Amino acid sequence: MVNKLQMEIKQSKKFESLEHEAFLNLQRTTDFLMRKVTDALKPFGITPPQYNVLRILRGAGESGLINREIGERMLTFVPDVTRMLDRLEKRDLVCRERGVEDRRLVTACITEEGLNLLSDLDQVFSDLNKELLGVCNKRTLTELIGTLERLRGA
């Protein structure tokens, strides 16, 4: 009996351990799903991390957030928030302002144009999300979430 992942990566030997098999499946599945999302966002000229930033800034509202806070809220670690915001600013999707009280801080806000783009992206993302993850029922997804949270440390 050869399982699905073994077939996919044309591996003849068994996995070393269940832990190993689980981890490889995690990598491959996330890569698979992210690739779909990346493709779906591409017509809008937006990458998944950029989409993530825009959503974070929308959530923050008019008061905005400073670079460090944006980095902390990202789903995946991003080492260079500055240049990421540079690109978004150049496209007028966000605006930035140097702090007056503490001149080290730079606060970023989403623009009207950014909000408009987001409302399109949300629809695309939401549809894709339900299409991709909808193959599992609610109970399975709930269990999946629990397992994943556990893997990040309970």
- HEC profile of 10-75: CCCCCCCCHHHHHHHHHHHHHHHHHHHHHHHHHHHCCCHHHHHHHHHHHHHHHHCEEHHHHHHHCC
CB of 40 to a second copy, least distance (A): 13
Q: Does residue number 115 form part of the binding site for a second copy (CB under 8 A)?
A: no
Q: Does residue number 103 form part of the binding site for a second copy (CB under 8 A)?
A: no
Residues 95, 109, 124, 132: which binds a second copy (CB under 8 A)?
Answer: 132
Measured from the CB atom, is 7 or 77 closer to DNA?
Answer: 77
Measured from the CB atom, is 37 or 132 closer to DNA?
Answer: 37
Strand (E) or helix (H) holding 131: helix 112-133
Measured from the CB atom, is 82 or 140 closer to DNA?
Answer: 82
